[in-house]
Chain A
Amino acid sequence: MTDTPRLELIGITKAYPGVVANNNVSLKVMPGEIHALLGENGAGKSTLVKFIYGVQKADSGILKWEGAVTDIPNPNVARKLGVGMVFQHFSLFDAMTVEENIALGISPELAKSGLTQRIIDISTQYGLPLEPDRYVHTLSVGERQRIEVVRCLLQDPRLLIMDEPTSVLTPQEVEVLFQTLRQLAADGVSILYISHKLQEIKDLCHTATIMRMGKVVADCNPAEETPRSMAEMMMGGNLTPPERTANAALGAPQLIVKGLSVIASDSHGTDLKEIDFEVRTGEILGIAGIAGNGQQELMDVLSGEVLVDDPKSITIDGNSVGGSGPNRRRSVGMAFVPEERLGHGAVPQMSLWENAFLSGATRMNLLSNGFMRIRESEDYASTIVEEFRVKTPGIANVAASLSGGNLQKFIIGREILQKPGIIIALQPTWGVDAGSAAAIRQSLIDLAANGAAVLVISQDLEELFEIADRLSVICEGRLSPGRKTEDVNVDEIGLLMGGVANDPITEAAAHAD
C-alpha cells in the first residue's frame, strides 16, 4: 500500500431544498482497502456515492483521485478513471444473454471480439462462474449480481463501489462474494462497501465511515467494534433489541396450509410445490429463502390476491379460504403486510387515513351502506400513528411523504390494530432503518405473545433468528419442514436456502458444463 489515498473526499456538502444531504463529509479510501460506508436510510450515503460516480454534483468540496484534484462530471468519466459501481437494483435485460448484457453496459472498445473469452477469464479468476450465452431470465439473483460484478471488473476498476450487495444472497453465496472482494483488495483494488449489515462489515471491511443525518459521525475499525456499538453510532442512541418473553403457550393452529401447489402466473415466476405448514396461535414461524424462490408467489396465494383451485388447501381458523379473495380472508382474521410498501401495501398519493381505510374497511367497520365512514377512518389512522409512533405531521399527509421506516410502522400498525388471528408479513423490515426495524420486530413478537399467529417470510436471516420460534426454508418453490429456531444454525439454514446438498457454486459450475 502506498500513502496516497486512491480516493479522498474533503468537505463535501450537498443540500437539497429543505435538507442537507451531505454536510462537510470527508473520507479517505486507500488502495487495496475495503472501506465500509455505514448509515441508516437517509443518512446521505447514496448522495455521496452518486457524487463519486459522477451522477450528481456537490455544492462544495473537493474530490482527489490518487492525490490529484479531479472533477467527475458524469459516469463515463468515472468509469474512465477506474470507478466501477454495482448497484443494488440490477439494470439487466431479461430477454438477452449474459454476454449481450455485459456488452451493453461497457464502452464500445471493450465490447469488441474476444469478450466471451474475457468474461470466462475474469469469472474463473475471481470465482464468479458465469455462462456468457445464457439468458438472464433463467438466472438466479446471485448469478445476476455476478454479471454486474463481472461487468465492472472487465473495465479494470481501481475503486469498486458495492451498494448493499448481499441482500439477495445466501450465506454461502455471501462467503463466495467476500472471497472475491478480498482477492480484489489483495490485487490493489479499493472497495467502497455500502451496507447496514453490521456483522458483514465486521467480517469484511478494514475501515468504516459511519454517517448520520448527512454528517460523518465516526471512523472506526470494524474489527475492534461490536455490531451493537456500530449500530449505536449509526443511530446516535441506544439500541433496544427486541425482547422475547418466555414462549407463550401454543394454541390451536390458526393457519393450515396443506398440499398447496400453484403454477406461477408469470413465466419467470416460481411454481409452488406441495407446500405444507401450519402456524399456531402464540408462535412466530419464519420462512427463510433467497429472493425469487417462491416467496412472492406464496404471499400472493396466502393473501388471496391469487386464488387456488382447492379451497381446502388453505384454512384460516377452521375456514377453507383457498378460493376466496382478500376481503373474505380478512373477515376470518387474516392480515397481510406485503413487501412493497409504496404501491402495494399503501397508495403513495393517498393520505394516511385513506390508506388506513384501504385494508381496514372490513375489520374496523369503516363502511356504512357502501359509504366510507371518514371520521372513523381518521380516528383509526390517528390511533395507528400514536400507538406505533409514526413520525408524520398529520394523517392528511400522503403515504409517499413518510420515510420507509415510518410508513412500514404505519402499515404494520394498521394490520395489528385489526386484531388479526394470523398476520403474514413479507420482508417486514426491508429497507427500514434500524430503529424502526427493532420496533416492528418487537410489535410482531408482542402480537404473538398476545395470542395471534405470526408468519414472517424474510430474506434477512438475522431477523428470523431474532424473532422466530420455528424456521422453514423455501427453495425453488418447496418448503422445508419447520424446525425449532434453537435447534438449527445459520449454516444448516444456508444449505437449505441453496437447495440442500447443492452448494451454489458447484451447482452454478454444473450449469457451465
Chain B
Amino acid sequence: MLIRLEPRAEASRAMVYQSPLIAVVLTLIAGMIMFRILGTDPLQAVHAFFIEPISTVQGLAELLIKATPLILIGVGLALGFQANIWNIGAEGQLTLGAIFGGIVALAFFDVESIFLLPAMLIAGIVGGMLWAAVPAFLKTRYNTNEILTSLMLVYVSFLLLSYLITGPLRDPDGFNFPESRLFHDSALLPIILEGTRLHLGFLVALLFAVLAWLMIVKHIIGFQIKVIGMAPAAASFAGFKEKKLVWLTLLISGGAAGLAGAIEVSGPIGQVIPVVSPGYGFTAIIVAFLGRLHPIGVVLAGILMALTYLGGDSAQITMNLPNAVTGVFQGMLLFFLLASDVLIRYRIKLGAPRVREVTQRQEGVT
C-alpha cells in the first residue's frame, strides 16, 4: 500500500483559520507524550510550561514583553511574505537595530533629554532598514535570492555586534566584560504597568499591527502587495512596480525588526550585550505563518509563541526540564501547522499512484 497526497477540489476556508488552533492542540498532545517519555508527569509539566508562567500579573507582563519583538517583526515579515518576498534575516536586522539604538544611547550617555529615546528608536529603524536594503538592492539589481542574502547577513550582524561589544562599545568601567554601560533613565522605555517591567514598546507593537492591518485592507500598497503575491502578471497588468514593492516590503520588515532591536536594548535589557535576542527574528517567521500573515492574527500568534519562551524558563526552574524544550515546542508547532496546511489542500489516499502523466495532462482536456 502506498500513501500519496491528492489535491482537494476546494480548500475549506474555515479550516484555514482553524488550522493554527489544531496545530496548537496537537503540539500540546505531542508535548505531553514527550514529557511522559522524559519521565515527568505530563499534566504537571504542561501546567508548569503553559499555566504557571502567566498565573501572576508579573508573568502576564513578561509574556507581553516577550511578545513585543515577535509581534513587531512578525507583522513586518507577514507583509513581505504576502508579496512572496522572503526576508529570513530579521534576526540580523534586529541586531543592527539594537546596535544603532545602543550607539545613540551610549553616545549621549551623559545627556538627559526626552528626545534621546525617540532618537534611539529611529536609529534602530534606520539600522534595520540598512541591513534589509542590502538584500533589496541585490535582488532588484542582480536578481539574487533574498532568502540567502538576508539569512547570511544575520551572521555578519552577529560578528559586528561581537566586535563592537568587545571593542568600541565596551563599558570602560566594566572590568573588560563584553557589555556596554547601563543606559540611564532617559534612554529607557517608560513602564506602562506599575510593578512590572511591561514597557511602552508593547503598545508600539500593537499600534504597528493596527497600521499594517489598515494598510493591507484599505491602502493601495496593501492591495499591491496582495496582488503581486497572488498573481504577479496581474500586478504588472495593473501597472504595479515589482521592484518598488521589493524595496518597500524589505524596508518595512527590516525597519520593524530594527525597531524591535532598539526596543529590546532600551526596554528589558537596558544595555548592549553580546546576545540581544533569543532568536526572535527567526521565531517571528513561525509567528507570521501561525498568524496567517494577518496582522491581528500575528498579534495572537506572537503572544502564544512568547509563552513558549516563558514556559521553557519556567519548566527549567520548577521541573528541571532542559531549556531546549522551548525549541522543541516551537518546532512542533511549526511542523503541525505546516502539516495541517498541507492537509487543507490535499487529502491522503491509499493505493498505487496513477500514472504520472495523468496529473500532468488532466488540465489539458477541455
Q: Flag if A344 contacts B239 (CB, 8 Å).
A: no
Contact A374 B231, CB 8 Å, known A16-B9, A17-B9, A91-B360: no
Contact A347 B230, CB 8 Å, known A367-B220, A372-B223: yes
Interface residues of B in 346-366 (CB under 8 A from A): 354-355, 357-358, 360-366
Option from A16, A41, A55, A344 in Cβ contact (under 8 Å) with B231: A344
A338 to B234, CA, bound (A): 9
Chain A interface size range? 35 or more
CB distance from B318 to the nearest CB of A (A): 47
A282 to B78, CA, bound (A): 48
B residues in contact with A346, CB < 8 Å: 231, 234
A145 to B24, CA, bound (A): 52
The stretch from A213-221, A352-360, A381-389 touching chain B is A352-360
A340 CB within 8 Å of chain B: yes
Q: Flag if B218 contacts A163 (CB, 8 Å).
A: no
* Interface 1/0 per residue, B239-253 and A, CB below 8 Å: 101000000000000
A26 to B55, CA, bound (A): 71
Q: Flag if B355 contacts A87 (CB, 8 Å).
A: no
CB distance from A422 to the nearest CB of B (A): 16
A202 CB within 8 Å of chain B: no
B319 CB within 8 Å of chain A: no
A74 CB within 8 Å of chain B: yes
Q: Flag if A348 contacts B236 (CB, 8 Å).
A: no
B66 CB within 8 Å of chain A: no
CB distance from A5 to the nearest CB of B (A): 22
Q: Flag if B361 contacts A76 (CB, 8 Å).
A: no
Q: Flag if A326 contacts B237 (CB, 8 Å).
A: yes
CB distance from A370 to the nearest CB of B (A): 5
Interface residues of B in 205-226 (CB under 8 A from A): 218-221, 223, 226
B residues in contact with A305, CB < 8 Å: 236-237
Q: Flag if A89 contacts B363 (CB, 8 Å).
A: yes
B residues in contact with A374, CB < 8 Å: 218
Q: Flag if B226 contacts A163 (CB, 8 Å).
A: no
B15 CB within 8 Å of chain A: no
A residues in contact with B227, CB < 8 Å: 347, 350, 358
Q: Flag if A325 contacts B231 (CB, 8 Å).
A: no
A194 CB within 8 Å of chain B: yes
A166 CB within 8 Å of chain B: no
A241 CB within 8 Å of chain B: no
Q: Flag if A326 contacts B219 (CB, 8 Å).
A: no
A105 to B364, CA, bound (A): 15
Nearest B residue to A346 via CB reads B234
Interface residues of B in 323-366 (CB under 8 A from A): 354-355, 357-358, 360-366
B residues in contact with A292, CB < 8 Å: none
A residues in contact with B219, CB < 8 Å: 370-372
B114 CB within 8 Å of chain A: no
Nearest B residue to A343 via CB reads B231
B residues in contact with A49, CB < 8 Å: 365
Q: Flag if B239 contacts A164 (CB, 8 Å).
A: no
Q: Flag if B223 contacts A357 (CB, 8 Å).
A: yes
Contact A303 B365, CB 8 Å, known A75-B357, A374-B218: no
A residues in contact with B221, CB < 8 Å: 370
Nearest B residue to A46 via CB reads B365
Residue among A49, A330, A354, A370 with the most chain B CB within 10 A?
A: A370
Nearest B residue to A306 via CB reads B236
Q: Flag if B357 contacts A87 (CB, 8 Å).
A: no
B238 CB within 8 Å of chain A: yes
Q: Flag if B364 contacts A74 (CB, 8 Å).
A: no
Q: Flag if A358 contacts B9 (CB, 8 Å).
A: no
Q: Flag if B238 contacts A358 (CB, 8 Å).
A: yes
Q: Flag if B355 contacts A76 (CB, 8 Å).
A: yes
Nearest A residue to B358 via CB reads A55
Q: Flag if A46 contacts B366 (CB, 8 Å).
A: yes
Option from A17, A91, A326, A350 in Cβ contact (under 8 Å) with B364: A91
CB distance from A260 to the nearest CB of B (A): 19
A144 CB within 8 Å of chain B: no
CB distance from A346 to the nearest CB of B (A): 7
Q: Flag if B234 contacts A343 (CB, 8 Å).
A: yes
Q: Flag if A350 contacts B362 (CB, 8 Å).
A: no
Q: Flag if A75 contacts B237 (CB, 8 Å).
A: no
Q: Flag if B233 contacts A344 (CB, 8 Å).
A: yes
A171 CB within 8 Å of chain B: no
Q: Flag if B237 contacts A359 (CB, 8 Å).
A: yes
A280 CB within 8 Å of chain B: no
A67 to B223, CA, bound (A): 59
A410 CB within 8 Å of chain B: no
Interface residues of A in 85-99 (CB under 8 A from B): 87-89, 91
A466 to B358, CA, bound (A): 38
Interface residues of A in 316-334 (CB under 8 A from B): 325-327, 330
CB distance from A45 to the nearest CB of B (A): 7
Interface residues of B in 84-118 (CB under 8 A from A): none
Contact A325 B357, CB 8 Å, known A87-B365, A163-B366, A164-B366: no
Query: Nearest 8 pairs between A and B by C-beta?
Result: A326-B239, A87-B364, A327-B239, A46-B365, A344-B233, A89-B364, A347-B231, A343-B231
9 additional A-B pairs beyond A50-B365, A304-B239, A345-B234, beta carbons within 8 Å, are A17-B9, A55-B365, A74-B354, A75-B357, A91-B360, A338-B237, A345-B237, A348-B231, A357-B223
11 contacts between A and B (CB under 8 A): A46-B366, A163-B365, A303-B237, A340-B233, A343-B231, A354-B223, A359-B238, A367-B220, A371-B219, A372-B218, A372-B223
A residues touching B (Cβ–Cβ < 8 Å)? 16-17, 41, 45-46, 49-50, 53, 55, 74-76, 87-89, 91, 105, 163-164, 194, 303-305, 325-327, 330, 336, 338, 340, 342-350, 354, 357-359, 361, 367, 370-372, 374, 431
